[in-house]
Amino acid sequence: MRINGRPSFGREVRALCHVSLALCLAIIFNPLLAKGVKDSLLKEPVPIKIVNPVYPFEFNRTKVETTVELLVEINEKGDVEEASVLSALHVSFGNAALGAVRRWKFKPAMKDGQPITVRRVVPVFFSYTGRKHPAKSVNLSRISKSRKNRNLVYPEILDQQEPVFPFALLSQGIDGNATANFVVGEGGFVVSVEIEDQSHPEFGHAAAAALMHWKFKPGEKDGQIVPFSLQQKFSFSRSYLEPTIRNWIRQIKKSKVDFITKPMELDNKPRPISRKVPVFPPSLAGKTTDGKVKIRFIVDKKGKVLLPRVEEASNPLFGFAAVTAISSWKFEPPLKDGEPVNTEFVLPMTFKLESNEVP
């Protein structure tokens, strides 16, 4: 499963892209971009603060390495005044590079001892490292370069939750997508979600449930925190699943679950190490004050939750909210005779409008 942004959100909790310092220091000089300044009289701008862009989530599986070339205007204060993409493998890499470079700081270019504004071509190198790193920036393709929008500070992503591929569609071999419009409130949480487009309703529900777990640094206008309306496109693809998981899905469909050890056969019931509380679906807030679900999920040999699916739900939206939260849970590794094994649990969960209870 992947997430494509429109606007593109540079997000990655598993991979960080790095800017090559050597490339940054060796900014490409083009006399045509120097606004008539002869390079014999010019001291080039030097980066003194570099913000690493975030590796685009949708390229996690490919682990592709690539370079984006940006045309940047560096003013007399050493700030990046304007930036645009000259070349990029994909719009996601371009947006990620723009979002980072706009936060760079330079020692300004100098002519005759005076700082000047120059335009330069800056290469930004992306390399997949597999390291865990929280997302620290958001790149919004709808950001205008016009001067009238310079008083806007767009929200920054602090935490994200991946949507869960709906098991019913997954087992049927159906891929799809969903586009969601959502509002980031003054507290930095998503306060409302509206699905604009979806190939199947289940994909829309999964996208909405995931967005309710996103956390932002609030946006600002004229120095005041204000709500922001944003858009995100989610794509669901079975090709991004590991071969082992695809094989498990086939076996579950055939009711052949030899790879799962029954809970009563375990040495001890594994305890959850970390749990995320599900969010009460906002669209149900005015219709009901509580709900009940029963979720089935696999805990693998490392204690990771896989293939969460709804067994029962008083409302389907409670089911999507529950599997989204449970998908991020972490357990102690299940053990049988001292050896790690895969197991499966069925967990009942109660929703209440004021607080969600997890047994």
Q: Tell which residue, 231, 140, 136, 233, has the closest CA to residue 192.
A: 231
Check whether 142 has a pLDDT greater than 50. no
Each residue's pLDDT tens digit, 341-354 = 999 999 999 999 87
The architecture that CATH gives domain 255-352 is 2-Layer Sandwich (3.30)
Q: Read off the pLDDT of each residue in 66-73 and give the average, rounded to a whole number.
A: 87
Among 3.90.870.10, 3.40.190.80, 3.20.20.70, 3.30.2420.10, what is the CATH number of 2-238?
3.30.2420.10
Check whether 22 has a pLDDT greater than 70. no
Among 45-59, 87-101, 146-160, 308-322, the range with the most confident prediction by mean pLDDT is: 308-322
Burial class of residue 282 in the structure, from the number of CB atoms within 10 Å of its CB (0-12 exposed, 13-18 middle, 19+ buried): middle
Q: Read off the pLDDT of each residue in 334-344 and give the average, rounded to a whole number.
A: 95
| Amino acid in position 89 | L
3-state secondary structure 181-216: EEEECCCCEEEEEEEEEECCHHHHHHHHHHHCCCEE
Question: Per the structure block, which two tokens stand in for 74?
Answer: 């560096």
CA gyration radius, the chain? 24
Q: What CA–CA distance (Å, rounded) separates 171 from 154?
A: 39
| Ranges 120-134, 194-208, 264-278, 280-294: which has the least confidence | 120-134
Check whether 3 has a pLDDT greater than 50. no
Check whether 144 has a pLDDT greater than 60. no
The reply to whether domains 2-238 and 255-352 share a CATH topology is: yes
Each residue's pLDDT tens digit, 42-69 = 888 888 888 888 787 667 666 778 888 8
| Domain ranges for the chain | 2-238, 255-352
Q: Tell which residue, 275, 159, 168, has the closest CA to residue 214.
A: 159
Contacts of 307 (CB under 8 A, 6+ apart): 167, 170, 245, 248, 249, 252, 297, 298
Between the CA of residue 290 and those of 225, 293, 326, what are the distances in Å? 32, 10, 18
Asked if residue 293 lies in contact with residue 325, where contact means CB atoms within 8 angstroms, the answer is no
pLDDT at 32 (0 to 100): 38
| Ranges 3-12, 38-47, 238-247, 288-297: which has the least confidence | 3-12
Asked if residue 37 lies in contact with residue 111, where contact means CB atoms within 8 angstroms, the answer is yes
Q: Read off the pLDDT of each residue in 153-169 and give the average, rounded to a whole number.
A: 85
Check whether 135 has a pLDDT greater than 50. no
Contacts 24+ apart (CB under 8 A), 274-278: 274/328, 274/329, 274/330, 275/325, 275/329, 275/358, 276/161, 276/213, 276/325, 276/326, 276/328, 276/329, 277/325, 277/356, 277/358, 278/321, 278/322, 278/324, 278/325, 278/326, 278/349, 278/351, 278/356, 278/358
Q: Read off the pLDDT of each residue in 291-307 and give the average, rounded to a whole number.
A: 95
For the entire predicted model, the pTM comes to 0.61
Asked if residue 333 lies in contact with residue 270, where contact means CB atoms within 8 angstroms, the answer is yes
Burial class of residue 222 in the structure, from the number of CB atoms within 10 Å of its CB (0-12 exposed, 13-18 middle, 19+ buried): exposed
